[in-house]
């Protein structure tokens, strides 16, 4: 890493860039509190603030249902990831057993499978099972993913074998060692895994939009997309400003949870993002 003192120009450039990255988020959130007509007539200034856009949005859009569905999917899918992926990672990191390399090879191979390719095959399977518009369709596919197993294997491999052997000497069972010795040691890795999983599930869109089409099962992202499509579809005639106000209110409220988690748990977020590049 370079150790020369950074110049003023570097700070100016970085600050301008940082503001440019943040501006769209700031503009969307601040505009969502403006009277709808002003979003169009004076997009740069901020005068009187109002909650009207939020009131209209809550009346028109089933965003509560969206949040509830996303929370449910996140809770179950997250729990499965947080339990089964470290467990499998532990087996691959600390055991020798016949067929281990072949099995791990399969895990690595599935890493290369583009998500999009599975969409139509999965949709066909769901309709054969009668699972279209169900929670299990949203939750089960991809609930134990190869990347998280790979990552947890790397994390657990760094634990000294002596620690695990000590647990064995103390008479702990195989699962007991995982639960009482391995999990507590990899807590930072688990935190990063939790944050990354939350982001991925919360923002997931392609599969939910295909797997679910009735409003009662739509996740938050699908609810948002439906709102946007209604707007672009009915461009002419609709009261434009009001609709935009609702759109920005819905978008802002959807951004909020992850932005808050991100600001609070930055380090885990960045570790999670970086974990991916290790395999490069």
Residues in 119-158 that interact with other proteins by CB under 8 A: 119-125, 127, 140-144, 146, 149
Nearest to 251 by CA among 19, 24, 20: 24
Distances (CA, A) of 54 to 29, 36, 79, 88: 11, 11, 32, 45
Q: Cβ 48 to other proteins, closest distance in Å?
A: 19
Nearer to other proteins, 33 or 202 (CB): 202
Number of residues that bind other proteins (CB under 8 A): 103
Does residue number 8 form part of the binding site for other proteins (CB under 8 A)?
Answer: no
Nearest to 135 by CA among 207, 199, 183, 86: 207
Does residue number 115 form part of the binding site for other proteins (CB under 8 A)?
Answer: yes
Task: Candidates 45-53, 159-167, 185-193, 243-251: pick the segment binding other proteins (CB under 8 A).
Answer: 243-251
Task: Candidates 45-53, 55-63, 71-79, 242-250: pick the segment binding other proteins (CB under 8 A).
Answer: 242-250
The residue within the footprint of other proteins, chosen from 49, 75, 166, 270 (CB under 8 A), is: 270
Nearer to other proteins, 51 or 264 (CB): 264
Nearest to 210 by CA among 133, 103, 145, 150: 133
Does residue number 244 form part of the binding site for other proteins (CB under 8 A)?
Answer: yes
Nearest to 27 by CA among 277, 198, 188, 255: 255
Task: Candidates 50-58, 116-124, 155-163, 186-194: pick the segment binding other proteins (CB under 8 A).
Answer: 116-124
Local structure of residue 131 (DSSP, 8 states): -
Cα separation, 79 vs 140, whole angstroms: 12
Could you give the string, one character per residue 63-82, with x where binding to other proteins holds by CB under 8 A and - elsewhere? Answer: --------------------
Local structure of residue 75 (DSSP, 8 states): H
Does residue number 17 form part of the binding site for other proteins (CB under 8 A)?
Answer: yes
Cα separation, 280 vs 268, whole angstroms: 20
Task: Candidates 57-65, 84-92, 154-162, 185-193: pick the segment binding other proteins (CB under 8 A).
Answer: 84-92
Asked if 115 and 206 count as a contact pair (C-beta separation under 8 A), the reply is yes
Does residue number 87 form part of the binding site for other proteins (CB under 8 A)?
Answer: yes
Phi, psi of 6 (to 5 degrees): -70, 140
Asked if 174 and 253 count as a contact pair (C-beta separation under 8 A), the reply is no
Cα separation, 14 vs 214, whole angstroms: 45
Nearest to 60 by CA among 214, 235, 245: 245
Does residue number 5 form part of the binding site for other proteins (CB under 8 A)?
Answer: yes
Does residue number 45 form part of the binding site for other proteins (CB under 8 A)?
Answer: no
Could you give the string, one character per residue 199-228, with x where binding to other proteins holds by CB under 8 A and - elsewhere? Answer: x--xx-xx--xx---------xx--xx-xx
Distances (CA, A) of 121 to 128, 132, 171, 207: 11, 13, 47, 11
Q: Cβ 87 to other proteins, closest distance in Å?
A: 5
Task: Candidates 48-56, 106-114, 155-163, 185-193: pick the segment binding other proteins (CB under 8 A).
Answer: 106-114
Could you give the string, one character per residue 170-199, with x where binding to other proteins holds by CB under 8 A and - elsewhere? Answer: ---xxx--x--------------------x
């Amino acid at each position: 890493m370079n150790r020369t003192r950074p110049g003023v120009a570097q700070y100016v450039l970085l600050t301008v860039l940082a503001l440019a990255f943040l501006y769209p988020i700031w503009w969307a959130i601040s505009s969502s509190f403006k009277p709808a007509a002003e979003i169009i007539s004076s997009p740069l200034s901020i005068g009187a603030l109002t909650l009207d856009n939020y009131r209209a949005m809550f009346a028109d859009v089933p965003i509560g249902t969206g949040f509830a569905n996303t929370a449910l999917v996140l809770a179950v899918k997250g729990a499965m990831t947080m339990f089964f992926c470290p467990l499998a990672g532990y087996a691959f990191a600390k055991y020798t057993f016949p067929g281990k390399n072949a099995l791990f090879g399969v895990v690595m191979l599935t890493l290369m499978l583009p998500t999009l390719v599975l969409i139509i095959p999965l949709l066909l399977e769901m309709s054969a099972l009668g699972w279209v518009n169900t929670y299990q369709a949203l939750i089960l596919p991809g609930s134990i993913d190869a990347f998280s197993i790979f990552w947890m294997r790397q994390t657990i491999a760094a634990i000294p074998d002596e620690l695990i052997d000590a647990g064995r000497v103390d008479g702990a069972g195989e699962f007991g060692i995982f639960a009482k010795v391995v999990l507590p040691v990899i807590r930072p890795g688990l935190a990063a895994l939790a944050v990354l999983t939350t982001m991925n599930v919360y923002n997931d869109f392609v599969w939910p939009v295909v797997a679910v089409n009735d409003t009662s099962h739509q996740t938050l992202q699908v609810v948002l997309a439906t709102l946007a499509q209604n707007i672009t579809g009915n461009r002419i005639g609709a009261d434009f400003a009001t609709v935009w106000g609702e759109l920005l209110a819905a978008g802002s409220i959807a951004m909020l949870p992850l932005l808050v988690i991100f600001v609070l748990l930055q380090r885990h977020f960045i570790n999670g993002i970086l974990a991916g590049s290790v395999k490069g």
